[in-house]
Chain A
Amino acid sequence: MNQMAIAPLKAVAPVTRPNQRALAKQRTREKILTAATLLFSEHGYDGATIRDIAKAAGMSTGAVFASFADKSDLFGEIVAAESKALEQEMLAALDSHGRGCAILAMLDAAAVRHMADLALFQATMSALWTPGLGAQVRRRLLQRSATRLIAEALKSLPGVESSDTDDKNVIAEMIWDGYVGVLRRAALESLTLDQVRGRLAREVGVIVAGSRRN
């Protein structure tokens, strides 16, 4: 496994090795992203300003604008990276879930990740509804790979597998919307991970039972 992963890397490394300037640029971006993630978590999308973010990253606002077009671009970047990481963890849970329900295993992995940083999750959800947010960024926030993974899992769920694609998408959206609702409750009422798991299992139970076509 390791051999396979390393071999192609060696082959392309000399070609893609970034030069010093590109490396410095990359480091700057990362510094900004780290500072911005923290500030968005603390103050929300509206509450965090580019000025604050620049200050926290130890650079000028001009330097921030050299890397990102505006605040929504910066925020979109953070959300995209977060969603990618979430997808990876849900996929890993899918691979190793054994005999249990694949959907619950994926939601569990998502909950573990989100519960570790509920503030960023809240900031994202709140920003999504902010009318001032650009349509393009909003579309980016709504590209939810999670619902795609759930819809995929529905294809092998007894009683649901035969329903048409559009129905599966509606069901997958319902499951993920229910998940978001549970996390919102977790944030506002300080639920434990176990309480979250219990609610998720009951919600998915109702939706899956209601989706079976016999």
Chain B
Amino acid sequence: MLDAAHALFEDVGYEAATIRSIAKRAGVSVGSVFSSFTSKAHVLSEVMQERLSDLYADLASAAPHLKGSTADRCRSLFAVHYAFEYRRLRLFLAYVSAAFDWAAGEGGRAFGANPHLRGMVRDCLESGVANGDVRPDVDIDLVVDMLIGAYAWNYRLATVADATPAQLIDLFDRQVDVIFQGLRPVQQRQGLPRAG
């Protein structure tokens, strides 16, 4: 069913795809789609998870070896996402749209709640605390929200201004600068010169 849904979303777009057409393509009844998923948004969130699973398998093995400051490693994680999601921009936008949709139902995992992405950003911040790049009293959950939020919001520039992935990455780099500058341990912010 997920393969059928994925192919259909690619062909006709998320809005035009119906549960009925997903069922038809998968060769199952509408009822059996509904016995596995609570809504179309739920199907989409599962498709997006599956699409990303290969990417995350690669990233998970690469993440511990990323070089540079905590901010640099964080930038690398998101740059990979920009490059990957931009290839299927419309589908990704539908996913973000569904993230604000209360009708997505219990089963749907809205964008921003992706445990892989959250986990990797969280690990990155925790290692930043451990090596003194990030101040120890940081509210990690809040900062993860800020970073993922900034990452996703930047896509609006792709919808109205046709921004390229490189432009999105540039903007995100500036935002990461501000956030990590704001997270520096107090003595670093006052005394030592800024790195880079």
Contacts and interface: CB of A to CB of B under 8 A. Distances in A.
A126 B178 contact: no
B103 A170 contact: no
Interface residues on B, range: 35 or more
Given A170-B178, A206-B182, 8 more contacts: A129-B93, A129-B96, A129-B97, A131-B90, A181-B149, A206-B179, A206-B183, A207-B182
A199 B175 CA distance: 18
A9 to B, nearest CB: 39
Interface in B114-153: 139, 142-143, 145-146, 149-150, 153
Contacts of B101: 44, 122, 126
Given A126-B101, A138-B160, A177-B150, A209 B189 contact: yes
27 contacts: A43-B103, A47-B103, A126-B98, A126-B99, A127-B97, A129-B96, A129-B100, A129-B156, A130-B97, A131-B14, A131-B93, A131-B97, A132-B15, A138-B160, A174-B150, A177-B149, A177-B150, A177-B153, A180-B149, A181-B112, A182-B145, A184-B112, A188-B110, A207-B179, A209-B189, A210-B177, A211-B182
Contacts of B99: 126, 184
Contacts of A214: 190
A188 B102 contact: yes
Interface string B158-182: 0110000000000100110111111
Contacts of B180: 210
B97 to A, nearest CB: 3
Interface of A: 43-44, 46-47, 119, 122, 125-132, 135, 138-139, 142, 170-171, 173-174, 177-178, 180-182, 184-185, 187-188, 199, 202-203, 205-212, 214
